[in-house]
Amino acid sequence: MAHHMIGKVLQGQYQIVQSLGAGVFGQTYIAINVEQPNHPKCVIKQLKVSSSQPAYLQSLRLHFLTETETLRYLGHHDQIPQLIACFEENERFYLVQEFIEGHALTTELPINQRAGYLWTESEIIQFLQDVLGILNFVHSQGVIHCDVKPENLIRRTCDGKLVLIDFGSIQPINFGIDTVLPIYRVPVTSLGYIPPEQFIDQTQPNSDIYAVGMIAIQALTGLSPLQLKIDPHSNEFIWRSHQTPVSDYLAAILSQMIRYNYKDRFQSAAEILRALEQMSLEYSQAQTNQLQSTVLRDSTDEEDHFARRDASVKSPPLLTGMRVGLVANSLVVGFGVYSLMNSPAYSETETLYKATEEFQSGDLEKAIALAKSIPENSNVYPEAQTTIEEWQNQWQLATEQYLLAKKALDEGQWSEAIHAASQVPDILYWQSKTDQIVEQAKAKIETQTNNLLARAYEKAAVKDFSTALTYLQQVPKETSATDLVKQKLTEYHQKQQIRAIFLLQQAYNKAEIGEFETAVKFLQQVPENSSVYATAKAKLEEYTQKQRLQTKNQKVAPSKVIAAISKETSMRESFDPSTLLQEVNITPNATPL
pLDDT tens digits, residue range 381-401? 888 888 899 899 999 999 999
Query: How many Å apart are CA 164 and CA 178, to the nearest integer?
Result: 28
| Per-residue pLDDT, 342 | 35
What contacts 24+ positions apart, CB below 8 Å, involve 318-321? Answer: 318/249, 318/252, 318/253, 318/256, 318/275, 318/278, 318/279, 319/248, 319/249, 319/252
| Per-residue pLDDT, 37 | 87
Q: Do 78 and 148 lie in a common domain?
A: no
Summarize the confidence of residues 57-64 as an average pLDDT. Answer: 73
Summarize the confidence of residues 154-183 as an average pLDDT. Answer: 66
Q: Do 168 and 49 lie in a common domain?
A: no
Range of the domain at 550: 490-583
Indicate if the pLDDT at residue 338 is higher than 90. no
| Per-residue pLDDT, 337 | 27
Indicate if the pLDDT at residue 185 is higher than 70. no
Indicate if the pLDDT at residue 285 is higher than 80. no
What residues pair up with 164 in beta bridges, in sequence order?
153
Residue 453 lies in a domain: no
Q: How far, in Å, are 4, 329, 357, 545 from residue 278 at the CA level? A: 54, 24, 36, 96
* Residue 324 or residue 199, greater confidence: 199
Indicate if the pLDDT at residue 406 is higher than 90. yes
Q: Do 67 and 216 lie in a common domain?
A: no
Query: How many Å apart are CA 72 and CA 82, to the nearest integer?
Result: 7
**Boundary-marking domain end, from 99, 127, 144:** 99
Residue 31 lies in a domain: yes
Give the pLDDT confidence of 468-522 residue by residue, as tens digits: 899 999 988 888 888 898 889 988 888 888 888 889 999 999 998 989 899 999 9
pLDDT band of residue 187 (cuts 50, 70, 90) is low
In the Cβ-directed half-sphere of 508, how many Cα atoms lie within 13 Å?
Answer: 20
Q: Do 58 and 140 lie in a common domain?
A: no
| Per-residue pLDDT, 246 | 85
Query: How many Å apart are CA 523 and CA 535, to the nearest integer?
Result: 10
Q: How far, in Å, are 364, 370, 377, 387, 513 from residue 381 at the CA level? A: 18, 12, 7, 10, 93
What is the average pLDDT score of the chain?
Answer: 78
Residue 62 lies in a domain: yes
Q: Do 76 and 149 lie in a common domain?
A: no
Spatial contact of 29 and 43, defined as CB atoms under 8 Å apart: yes
Q: Do 92 and 106 lie in a common domain?
A: no
| Per-residue pLDDT, 27 | 82
Residue 455 lies in a domain: no
Q: Do 67 and 200 lie in a common domain?
A: no
| Per-residue pLDDT, 233 | 80
Spatial contact of 105 and 150, defined as CB atoms under 8 Å apart: yes
Indicate if the pLDDT at residue 163 is higher than 60. yes
Single out the residue of 222, 204, 187 nearest to residue 259, CA to CA.
204
How do the residues of the chain divide into helix, strand and coil, expressed in percent and rounded to 5?
A: 55, 10, 35
Q: Calculate helix-pair angle for 344-361, 428-461, nearest 10 degrees.
A: 40
Q: What's the CATH code of the domain at 295?
A: 1.10.510.10
Q: Do 113 and 88 lie in a common domain?
A: no
Q: Do 73 and 91 lie in a common domain?
A: yes
**Boundary-marking domain end, from 340, 373, 406:** 340
Please count the other Cβ atoms lying within 10 Å of the Cβ belonging to residue 531.
Answer: 13
Indicate if the pLDDT at residue 155 is higher than 90. yes
pLDDT band of residue 234 (cuts 50, 70, 90) is confident
Q: Do 160 and 228 lie in a common domain?
A: yes
Query: How many Å apart are CA 272 and CA 255, to the nearest integer?
Result: 12
Q: Do 77 and 172 lie in a common domain?
A: no
Residue 67 lies in a domain: yes
Q: How far, in Å, are 455, 507, 526 from residue 530 at the CA level? A: 22, 16, 7
Q: What's the CATH code of the domain at 84?
A: 3.30.200.20
pLDDT band of residue 74 (cuts 50, 70, 90) is confident
Which amino acid is present at 369? A
**Boundary-marking domain end, from 42, 66, 99:** 99
Phi, psi of 98 (to 5 degrees): -60, 135
Q: Which of 130, 147, 208, 248 is labelled catalytic?
A: 147
Q: What is the pTM of this model?
A: 0.49
| Per-residue pLDDT, 70 | 77
What residues pair up with 163 in beta bridges, in sequence order?
154
Domain total in the chain: 3
Tell me which H or E stretch contains 109: none
| Per-residue pLDDT, 593 | 41
Residue 451 lies in a domain: no
| Per-residue pLDDT, 361 | 85
Residue 48 lies in a domain: yes
In the Cβ-directed half-sphere of 357, how many Cα atoms lie within 13 Å?
Answer: 16
Annotated binding-site residues for ATP read 45
| Per-residue pLDDT, 294 | 46
| Per-residue pLDDT, 561 | 53
Summarize the confidence of residues 322-347 as an average pLDDT. Answer: 32
Assess whether 78 carries a catalytic annotation. no
Contacts of 284 (CB under 8 A, 6+ apart): none
Which DSSP letter does residue 239 get? -
Q: How far from each other are the two terminal CA atoms of the chain, in whole angstroms?
A: 47
Alpha helices in 6-120 (DSSP H): 54-74
Indicate if the pLDDT at residue 272 is higher than 70. yes
Indicate if the pLDDT at residue 344 is higher than 70. no
Residue 327 lies in a domain: yes
Give the pLDDT confidence of 32-42 residue by residue, as tens digits: 999 888 889 99
Q: Do 39 and 115 lie in a common domain?
A: no
